[in-house]
């Protein structure tokens, strides 16, 4: 028998960021997590004991078809005893449709009997928005097709926007210029396909090293540019060091045999009043070359 007391699950599940709820075979809700409350606006006492088909969340698919009475992931999973995943929309307490990624797992008794199902869901809004932006950049030729990062045209526009906002709101931002070391040697020694792969590896590392609100793109050749917000000089310096350290810990293979180590040189500067986009870039670029001449350590203005 599946315990119906929420206290049984609270210590394990209430601190999970995703929404979690359990249902019995009739889709009666037995447990509703704090994450589910945060994502939907419905408190546990408002939903526990009720049935999904009463239209609490009103799951719909991308075509707008209501799934509560036909095609519900919980019903499918309970019926076939298999895990089920789907990208859907749910209606929160305010009546707004929220895109969610749903995973449903049947709950089995010791004898294999299906006792119900557990649904785990998370807000998919950020992923959908990122996908939308990426598609827009493809359409507007703002994407570098090798690294799948924004290209120089997009970064120039973003840098100008950041400067304009700085002049209005007086909130400084930082710029990192990052250059792949020994790029010519990689190309000459292992071929241009190896050089392309090196750029792709570095691009992926930089995206992971920076914050989701930062923008990093390929400036040209083996050079990248990042625009970072909500930083001071010290934080900017640590961010530059993190980028350099993460790249230095990575390598990639050629034909699954030869391992090629990577490293970058980084120049980091904070924006200044009345400074142009190119003036800001040149300051960071100058420090990047100082970093390269100094053995690849990140360099920032004191």
CATH code, domain with 80: 3.30.450.20
Mean pLDDT by 10 residues, the chain (302 residues): 52 77 92 90 92 83 80 89 89 86 90 91 79 72 90 93 88 94 92 93 94 92 95 92 92 79 94 92 94 74 58
Domain boundary pick from 69, 90, 123: 123
CATH code of the domain containing 270: 3.30.70.270
194 and 80 share a domain?
no
78: left (phi over 0), alpha (psi -120 to 50) or beta: alpha
The answer for residues whose C-beta is within 8 angstroms of residue 286's C-beta and 6 or more apart is 267
- Give the structural domain span for 212: 133-300
- Terminal CA-to-CA distance of the chain, rounded, Å? 65
Task: Give domain status of residue 1, yes or no.
Answer: no
Tell me, what's the pLDDT at 302?
Answer: 52
15 and 50 share a domain?
yes
144 and 290 share a domain?
yes
Task: Give domain status of residue 2, yes or no.
Answer: no
Using alpha carbons, select from 197, 199, 249, 241 the residue that is nearest to residue 219: 199
**Which residue's entry shows tokens 């210029």?**
177
Question: How far is residue 73's CA from residue 67's CA, in Å, rounded to a whole number?
Answer: 8
Q: How far is C-alpha 148 from the chain's CA centre? A: 14
H helices of the chain, in order, are 7-13, 34-40, 44-47, 73-80, 125-139, 152-169, 183-190, 192-209, 233-248, 277-293
42 and 112 share a domain?
yes
57 and 147 share a domain?
no
CB 183 within 8 A of CB 294: no
248 and 138 share a domain?
yes
150 and 266 share a domain?
yes
138 and 40 share a domain?
no
Burial (Cβ within 10 Å: 0-12, 13-18, ≥19) of residue 298: buried
Question: How far is residue 56's CA from residue 111's CA, in Å, rounded to a whole number?
Answer: 32
Task: Give domain status of residue 234, yes or no.
Answer: yes
Domain boundary pick from 90, 123, 156: 123
pTM above 0.75, yes or no: no
Tell me, what's the pLDDT at 6?
Answer: 47
95-101 contact pairs (CB < 8 A, 24+): 97/60, 98/39, 98/40, 98/123, 98/125, 99/123, 99/124, 99/125, 99/128, 100/19, 100/39, 100/124, 101/127
CB 218 within 8 A of CB 144: yes
Q: Which pair of tokens denotes residue 165?
A: 């906002």
Using alpha carbons, select from 296, 59, 281 the residue that is nearest to residue 182: 296
CB 77 within 8 A of CB 102: no
- Structural domains counted in the chain: 2
Domain boundary pick from 82, 99, 123: 123
Distances (CA, A) of 157 to 154, 223, 228: 5, 17, 15
Tell me, what's the pLDDT at 201?
Answer: 94
171 and 64 share a domain?
no
Q: Which pair of tokens denotes residue 235?
A: 């934080």
CA angle, corner 163, sides to 136 and 129, nearest 5?
25
The crossing angle, in degrees rounded to 10, of helices 183-190 and 192-209 is: 140
**Which residue's entry shows tokens 């924004």?**
150
63 and 204 share a domain?
no
Q: In what order do the strands lie in the sheet with 29-32?
A: 29-32, 19-23, 114-123, 97-108, 84-91
């Amino acid at each position: 028998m599946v315990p119906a007391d929420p206290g049984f699950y609270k210590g394990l599940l209430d601190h999970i960021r995703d929404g979690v709820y359990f249902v019995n075979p009739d889709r009666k809700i037995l447990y509703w997590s704090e994450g589910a409350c945060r994502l939907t606006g419905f408190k546990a006492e408002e939903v526990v004991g009720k049935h999904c088909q009463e239209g609490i969340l009103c799951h719909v698919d991308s075509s707008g078809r209501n799934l509560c009475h036909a095609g519900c992931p919980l019903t499918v999973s309970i019926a076939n005893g298999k895990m089920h995943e789907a990208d859907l929309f749910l209606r929160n307490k305010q009546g707004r449709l929220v895109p969610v990624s749903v995973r449903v797992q049947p709950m089995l008794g010791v004898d294999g009997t299906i006792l119900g199902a557990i649904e785990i869901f998370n807000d998919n809004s950020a992923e959908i928005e990122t996908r939308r932006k990426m598609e827009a950049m493809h359409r507007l030729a703002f994407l570098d097709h090798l690294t799948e990062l924004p290209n120089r045209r997009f970064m120039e526009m973003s840098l100008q926007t950041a400067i304009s906002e700085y002049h209005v709101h007086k909130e400084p931002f930082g710029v990192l210029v990052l250059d792949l070391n020994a790029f010519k040697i990689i190309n000459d020694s292992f071929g241009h396909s190896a050089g392309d792969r090196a750029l792709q590896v570095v691009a992926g590392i930089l995206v992971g090293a920076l914050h989701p609100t930062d923008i990093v793109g390929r400036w040209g050749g083996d050079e990248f540019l990042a625009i970072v917000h909500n930083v001071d000089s010290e934080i900017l310096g640590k961010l530059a060091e993190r980028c350099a350290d993460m790249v230095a810990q990575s390598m990639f293979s050629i034909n699954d045999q030869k391992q090629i180590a990577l490293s970058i040189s980084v120049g980091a500067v904070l924006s200044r009043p009345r400074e142009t986009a190119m003036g800001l870039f040149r300051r960071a670029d100058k420090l990047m070359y100082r970093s390269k001449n100094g053995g690849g350590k990140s360099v920032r203005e004191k």
